[in-house]
Every structure is written in structure tokens, then in C-alpha cells.
Amino acid sequence: MITYAVLSPHPPMLIPEIGGERLRDVAATVEGMQQMARGLVDSYPETVIFITPHGNVFSDAVSALSEARLEGDFSNFGYHSKGTSCSNDNELLQEIARRANLADINVVLLDKETALYNQLNSRLDHGIMVPLHYLQEAGLSDVKILAISVAFISLLDLYSFGTLIRDAAEAMGRRVAIVASGDMSHRLKDEGPYDYHPDGQRFDMKVKKLLAAGDVQAFLDISDKLRDNAGECGYRSLVMMFGVLDGREFTSQVFSYEGPFGVGYLTAGFLPGKERKSLLEELQQKNKDKIRASREKESIPVRWARLTLESYTRSRKIPPLPLEMKELLEQKAGAFVSLKKNDQLRGCIGTTSAVYSDLAQEIAHNAISAGSRDPRFTPVEPAELDDIIYSVDVLGPAEPCTREDLDPKKYGVIVSKGERRGLLLPDLEGIDTVEEQLYIALNKAGISPSEDYKIERFEVIRYK
């Protein structure tokens, strides 16, 4: 069973030997951490599961440390203590991984040898070490822990993974407490780690209010744009934690909030209560309804991209072009096909100008490539096809331009220097300025901003 769950900030300066006199500036957070720790320890867990954004974070898989004993210290922050060593609950970890595998959520288990070979971290990071320090001060002892890192998979999959943690704990009769490690906005002040953004404070106050109210649905509905502008690192930890609490009423308490150094520190506790209807089923149904609505109104280019990838994935064949799509034979242009699954990019491949004799072939070949040859992703499996939403961008001709001629909402951009070339489509979520657009395009091309590079712009027709 789940005994308790908490949100814990994790700045190393909360450790007295590191923070020193600065600890006075975060006195409210120190007190909040102590209250949080007492609440968790008093729930008498057998295992404490830490969810951290600073471990080995992957784009397509949740990861967890699997060594028999998990160790860590603060030497990276100038405090050379003897460190911490805790027993890993590998029995529970294996059960969580087994259930995740059945649910098609990838899990990577890392022992020391695997981590070393892949240049990954096999030790407890500060996202775990800081709250663990306060838990041990509050009397936590003789318990096992798990060190799980968040992933850049969809929020629905993160929430689902949380429910699998809960199910595994209940199946094994294990008393488990959850620590969602994460700071709020890093953009509260110009002197903070990032430039100031007004959405930083908006995000923090919104999260604080929703956590106090226990409003999980509204928390999950926080926009990507607000989160990106805030520069937070705790949202995904909380999504997973709320998945663990799914199907239970809970009492929530915000212990403290402050942001004296430009980063928001929020501590909170969540005490599970009686059973209630699972939110996961509602979230899954909303996703299905969204896909159904997309299918019902999809354009001809998008329907052709979908039919092509579905046929190729199932039979390795390109289907015949339906009669009602013959208009695609009369056009010739470059095109990009983008795939999304649970609101996360699942593949995107395209051509900047026409490669094939007509738009039907252009879309078909790029749809297949987006689903099977995008090097950032594994090939799409047949079981995924019903969960994918498509879009097709048909590109107009590129024209030379200057930085002043760009508009990231209207124009895509191509940057080039010799054979190096980078392209970015227009009107992408989270890209609002010319500077952001050029930075990403240059990074894709491997071109330094200080080099003398060529800029071109183009318009697109986006089909959904």
C-alpha cells in the first residue's frame, strides 16, 4: 500500500554543511522539509521510492538504478562526507519493470557495470540525496529505497507508470512512500540560473494552489508553454507521483514555498485515503476521443500518410492511392510528415523540395521514413498505430532572406554553411522568437552562431 507521498525541492544548499549562512535565507524551506520528512517517516514505510529529474533521464524510457546497494554523497558540491548507502528494493523494482513491459512502457535498469559502459551515473543524484538527508534526520532507517528517474515520454505514460508502481506495491503487500523530487520555476529573478520570465511566478502559484486543493486534473492540464516558460524541473516527478495516488482520495498539505534565489522551492505532503474512481481511465478515454476526432476530420494528405504507414507497418506494402486522392498526383513539392503519440513527437521526416514525381509519392515515402527511419526513435509497431496522430506540411519554395525577414509563426527557416544544413518548420509549440528558431536550426546543422551562414525562409501549408 501507499503510505504517504511528498513533493521535495532539492537544492544542495539545503544541506547545512553546503549552505552555511545562506541557510537563513531559506528558513521556511528548511522547516517545510522537516515537516515533510516527519510526515513520511511517521507513515512507517518499508520502502521509499524516489522519483528524480536529475538521474539518467531518457527520451523514450524510464530508468532506475538496480545495484544491490545504492550510494551517494555531496562531493560534487564541495562537501566530502562519508556519504550514504541504502539497500535497493530490487524485488519491487523487478515487479514494477515487469508490469511496465506488459503496458508497453520502456524501463531501463542500470547496474554499475552497465552505467559505466554507457557513461551514465550509477550513484544517487542530489535530487535524491537532499530529501534523503532530511528523512534520515527525521529518523528514517532500516528501509529500502528505489531510485527512479523521470523520462521525456508522454505525460499519460508517466501517469500510467505511477499506477504500475502502486499496483506492484499492493500486489507485494509492501508499505511504500513516494518522494517526488523537483524544484519549481528557475526563472523567478534575473539573478537566478535563467533569465526572468513572468510565467515563472504564474506557474509556481498555480501549482501551489492546485496541490493544496488536490486538483489532479487541473494540474495535468497545465500547458506546455507555461511549463517551458517557467523553466521548472518538478512537474514530471509530480505527474508520476499522482499516478501512484490514482484511485485514492488524499489529503494534501503545502508545508512551505519561497524563491529567494530565483528558483521556487515548494514542499508538500499527500496522505492517501479511501478508494475513488480512477482518473487514468478518464485520461485514456480523452486520448481515444481526441484521436477519433482527428480521424473524422483529417485532410486528404494526412489520410494518405496514415494509410501508407499503417499498410507498410503491417505488411511492408504501399497501398494503392484511393480515387478521391488523385489530386495529390497533380502537385509536386517537398513535404514533411510528423507523427505524435500521446502528444509526444514519435517521428518526423521530410524533404525540403520535391524528390519524387508527385506529392502522393512524396508523402508516402516520408510517412514510411517518419515511422521507421527517424534515428531518434524506434520503428513504429503495429500496436501503436491506433494511438498516432499525423500532420503533413507541404513546403513552398525557399527564398534567401535576412534575420529581419523571419517570423517563426509564419515562415520556416533553413540555415546552411557549405554542406551543413538545418531546417525548422514554422509555428512550432514553444518557439516564439527568431532567436529561438535560429538557435535550434543552427544546432541541428552543427553551425556556430558566430559563423557566416546563409538563411532562407519558406512558407508551408499544414494539413491535419
Write the CATH number for 402.
3.30.1490.150
**Residue 293 located in a structural domain:** no
Determine the average pLDDT of the residues in 247-273: 96
Last residue of a domain, one of 255, 282, 309: 282
Band (pLDDT 50/70/90 cuts) for residue 81 is confident
The answer to whether residues 271 and 415 belong to one domain is: no
Determine the average pLDDT of the residues in 377-390: 92
Give the integer Cα–Cα distance in Å for 127 and 51.
8
The answer to whether residues 385 and 450 belong to one domain is: no
Write out pLDDT tens, residues 364-379.
999 999 999 999 888 9
Beta bridge partners of 315: none
Beta bridge partners of 340: 345, 389
The answer to whether residues 249 and 314 belong to one domain is: no
**Residue 360 located in a structural domain:** yes
Set of cell numbers at residue 307: 494509410
Which CATH number is 258's domain given? 3.40.830.10
pLDDT given at position 162? 98
CB-CB contact of 196 with 187 (8 Å)? yes
pLDDT given at position 430? 77
pLDDT given at position 191? 77
**Residue 290 located in a structural domain:** no
* CA 17 to centroid of chain Cα atoms: 33
The values of phi and psi at residue 320, to 5°, are -70, 150
The values of phi and psi at residue 394, to 5°, are -100, 120
The answer to whether residues 77 and 150 belong to one domain is: yes
The answer to whether residues 319 and 403 belong to one domain is: no
The answer to whether residues 390 and 405 belong to one domain is: no
Q: Which helix (H) or strand (E) holds 252?
A: strand 248-258
pLDDT given at position 202? 97
pLDDT given at position 193? 76
Tally of domains in the chain: 3
Write out pLDDT tens, residues 8-58.
999 999 999 999 999 999 999 999 999 999 999 999 999 999 999 999 999
Determine the average pLDDT of the residues in 236-245: 98
**Residue 73 located in a structural domain:** yes
Band (pLDDT 50/70/90 cuts) for residue 7 is very high
pLDDT given at position 195? 87
Give the integer Cα–Cα distance in Å for 280 and 271.
19
Predicted TM-score of the model (pTM): 0.83
Give the integer Cα–Cα distance in Å for 156 and 162.
10
Mean pLDDT of the chain: 94
Closest CA to 22 of 316, 349, 288, 258: 258
Nearest-5° angle of CA 47, CA 52, CA 54? 140
Tell whether the model's pLDDT for residue 251 goes beyond 80.
yes
**Residue 287 located in a structural domain:** no
Give the integer Cα–Cα distance in Å for 390 and 298.
9
CB-CB contact of 35 with 134 (8 Å)? no
**Residue 246 located in a structural domain:** yes
Secondary structure of residue 405 in the 3-state scheme: helix
| Length of the chain in terms of residues written | 464
The answer to whether residues 28 and 116 belong to one domain is: yes
Band (pLDDT 50/70/90 cuts) for residue 432 is confident
Set of cell numbers at residue 311: 499498410
pLDDT given at position 60? 86
Last residue of a domain, one of 227, 253, 282: 282
Determine the average pLDDT of the residues in 293-299: 92
CB-CB contact of 266 with 184 (8 Å)? yes
Q: Which helix (H) or strand (E) holds 442?
A: helix 434-445
Give the integer Cα–Cα distance in Å for 94 and 100.
10
CB atoms within 10 A of CB 390: 28
**Residue 449 located in a structural domain:** yes
Write out pLDDT tens, residues 95-129.
999 999 999 899 999 999 999 999 999 999 999 99
Band (pLDDT 50/70/90 cuts) for residue 463 is very high
Alpha-helix runs per DSSP H in 223-320? 224-230, 235-244, 279-296, 300-315
Last residue of a domain, one of 366, 394, 422: 394
pLDDT given at position 399? 94
**Residue 94 located in a structural domain:** yes
The answer to whether residues 85 and 173 belong to one domain is: yes
Domain hosting 339: range is 298-394
The answer to whether residues 71 and 196 belong to one domain is: yes
Tell whether the model's pLDDT for residue 343 goes beyond 90.
no
pLDDT given at position 376? 86
Tell whether the model's pLDDT for residue 192 goes beyond 90.
no
Tell whether the model's pLDDT for residue 428 goes beyond 90.
no
pLDDT given at position 209? 97
Beta bridge partners of 391: 338
Give the integer Cα–Cα distance in Å for 104 and 442.
35
The answer to whether residues 53 and 68 belong to one domain is: yes
Q: Which helix (H) or strand (E) holds 41?
A: helix 27-41
Side-chain-side CA neighbours of 240 within 13 Å: the count stands at 26
The answer to whether residues 142 and 238 belong to one domain is: yes
The values of phi and psi at residue 50, to 5°, are -100, 130
Interacting residues of 434 by C-beta distance below 8 A, sequence separation 6+: 403, 406, 407, 408
The answer to whether residues 272 and 317 belong to one domain is: no
| Distances 135 to 50, 88, 248, 252, 424 between C-alpha atoms, Å | 12, 16, 24, 19, 46
Band (pLDDT 50/70/90 cuts) for residue 222 is very high
Side-chain-side CA neighbours of 179 within 13 Å: the count stands at 34
Give the integer Cα–Cα distance in Å for 293 and 267.
39
The percentage of residues in the chain with a pLDDT greater than 70, rounded to a whole number, is: 100
pLDDT given at position 80? 78
pLDDT given at position 211? 97
Band (pLDDT 50/70/90 cuts) for residue 165 is very high
Which CATH number is 387's domain given? 3.30.700.20
Set of cell numbers at residue 93: 523494482
